[in-house]
Amino acid sequence: MKFTKYDEGTPCWTDLMTNDIEKAKDFYSNVFGWEMYTNPSEDFGGYTTGQLDGEVVCGFMSTQGQEQPNAWNVYLATDNIDQTLEQVSANGGNVVMDKMIVGEHGSMAVAQDPQGAFVSFWQAEKMIGSTIANEYNTVCWDELATSDLEGA
């Protein structure tokens, strides 16, 4: 399915933080047939998008030596990232990375819910997130595994 906009709260983007971006790019391009495009601007630190038939599927970025495991990040669409972060705090969550403007593409932030799960938020400007999803060889499912379903 092709997307031009996401409703608030909908998963709109997924990216992989990895300590070996070249291996990840090779793996996912071979498994899913994604073409990889790395942004040449130093401002974006080698951020790479996986694309299928010219449509953007997901992103890849290096952990750049950070002490964190390789992990996929899920971004939920928001129309007002500042208000979303206020709601995170008001409801027992923690803002892990405050709003960061990503050029003309949009704004992102990372939070942790009261049960400890991480979630990211995306407020679109020029980039809505994935322009194709829920199809063969694209992202099609996002799930939260938690020990406190009611609390989450």
pLDDT higher than 80, residue 50: yes
pTM of the model: 0.92
Residue 43 in this model has a pLDDT that exceeds 80: no
| pLDDT for residue 101 | 95
66 pLDDT above the threshold of 70: no
Q: What is the pLDDT of residues 131-147, one digit of tens each?
A: 999 999 999 999 888 88
- Mean pLDDT across the chain: 93
SS (H, E, C) the chain: CECCCCCCCCEEEEEEEECCHHHHHHHHHHHHCCEEEECCCHHHCCCEEEEECCEEEEEEEECCCCCCCCEEEEEEECCCHHHHHHHHHHCCCEEEEEEEEECCCEEEEEEECCCCCEEEEEEECCCCCCCECCCCCCCCCCCCCCCCCCCC
pLDDT at residue 45 tops 80: no
pLDDT for residue 44 is more than 80: no
Q: What is the pLDDT of residues 104-141, one digit of tens each?
A: 999 999 999 999 999 999 999 999 999 999 999 999 99
